[in-house]
């Protein structure tokens, strides 16, 4: 899978070189290209923002550098494949596990990180004519820019790619994985030692009775979901 990220803070994306995503890059499963938006400006000051038409607080990202960057990146593909253009924004559709699965099935994702009050809306409208554009939000709060959201979305999608996780069965059990214990949060987990600072591992987990263990885990998942996310139990 190819992933391009356009940002005015390329260093913000560096953590993708670590851990699981970093290994997927090293293995060639993911090809990550990070682009500095300012490299696509033509003025001496490398200006990427301007005041909003109609007034109001803050600044809006100018369309021209985005057009230059996206045209170059879209044109860089020899077979002219159609990527998905992902625009992180608090006014987008919610990013969920099922969106992560859609992304994991794509060959090519381009993330356009806005800062300030966002990108001139004509950019998204322009590229809708030639490719799939997805405006997405990672939650009901406001970030200063799309970069942190890109770290979230790339990690969520990357761990679903074949061969990225050590144990492919673990994604099936994920909280929110379609079909995994419906949509229950995962309950508590334990490892050795059997006693730690006065707390015992629940005896049933040491019993070897797989039927009883599965039933206990399901009950724990329901309890946790009721406590943390009653909305999921509907």
* Choice among 36, 77, 174, 186 that is catalytic: 174
Residue span binding ligand 6GU (CB under 6 A) among the ranges 2-10, 24-32, 68-76, 87-95: 87-95
Closest CB 86 distance from ligand 6GU, rounded Å:
9
Could you say which residues in the range 90-129 bind ligand 6GU, by CB under 6 A? 90
**Is the Cβ–Cβ distance between 62 and 33 less than 8 Å?**
no
Rounded to 5°, the CA angle 15-16-20 comes to 115
Q: Is 194 a catalytic site residue? A: no
User: Is 117 an active-site residue?
Assistant: yes
Confirm or reject binding of residue 53 to ligand 6GU (CB under 6 A): no
Query: Cβ distance 97 to 232 under 8 Å?
Result: no
Per-residue burial over 64-74, b if 16 or more Cβ lie within 10 Å, else e, is bbbbebbeebb
Query: Is 7 one of the binding residues for ligand 6GU (CB under 6 A)?
Result: no
**Contact, 58 vs 117, CB < 8 A?**
yes
Output the smallest distance, CB 22 to ligand 6GU, in A.
Answer: 22
Check 117, 173, 182, 219 and give the catalytic one: 117
Q: Which is nearer to ligand 6GU, 143 or 205 (CB)?
A: 143
The least distance separating ligand 6GU from the CB of residue 13, rounded to whole angstroms, comes to: 14
Kind of pairing between the strands at 199-200 and 195-196: antiparallel
Q: Is 159 a catalytic residue?
A: yes
Q: What are phi and psi of 186, to 5 degrees?
A: -75, 140
The closest alpha carbon to 97, from 155, 169, 15, belongs to: 155
β-strands 108-112, 84-94 pairing = parallel
* Residue among 1, 73, 88, 119 that touches ligand 6GU (CB under 6 A): 88
Per DSSP, 202 falls in state P
Judged by CB under 6 A, the chain residues 124 through 163 that form the site for ligand 6GU are 136-139, 141-143, 145-146, 149
Closest CB 111 distance from ligand 6GU, rounded Å: 10
**How many angstroms separate the CA atoms of 81 and 83, rounded?**
6
Count residues contacting ligand 6GU (CB under 6 A)?
Answer: 13
The residues with which 137 forms a beta bridge, in sequence order, are: 94
- The residue (of 21 and 86) whose beta carbon lies closer to ligand 6GU is 86
- List interacting residues with ligand 6GU (CB under 6 A): 88-90, 136-139, 141-143, 145-146, 149
Catalytic positions are 90, 117, 159, 174
């Amino acid at each position: 899978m190819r992933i391009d990220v356009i940002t005015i803070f390329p260093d913000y994306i560096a953590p993708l070189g670590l851990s699981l995503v970093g290994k997927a890059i090293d293995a060639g499963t993911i090809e990550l290209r990070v682009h500095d938006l300012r490299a696509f400006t033509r003025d001496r000051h490398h200006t990427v923002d301007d005041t909003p038409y109609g007034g109001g607080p803050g600044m809006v990202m100018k369309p021209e550098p985005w057009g230059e960057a996206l045209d170059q990146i879209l044109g860089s593909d020899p077979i002219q494949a159609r990527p998905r253009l992902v625009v992180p924004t608090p006014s987008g559709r919610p990013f969920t596990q099922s969106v992560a699965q859609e992304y994991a099935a794509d060959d090519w994702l381009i993330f356009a990180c806005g800062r300030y009050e966002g990108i001139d809306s004509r950019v998204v409208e322009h590229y809708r004519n030639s490719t799939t554009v997805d405006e997405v939000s990672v939650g009901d709060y406001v970030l200063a820019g799309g970069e942190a959201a890109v770290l979230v979305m790339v990690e969520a999608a990357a761990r679903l790619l074949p061969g990225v996780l050590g144990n492919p069965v673990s994604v099936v059990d994920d909280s929110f994985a379609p079909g995994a214990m419906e949509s229950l949060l995962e309950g508590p987990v334990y490892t050795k030692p059997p006693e730690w600072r006065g707390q015992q591992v629940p005896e049933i987990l040491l019993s070897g009775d797989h039927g009883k263990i599965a039933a206990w885990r399901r009950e724990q998942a329901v309890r946790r979901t009721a406590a943390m996310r009653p909305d999921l139990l509907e």
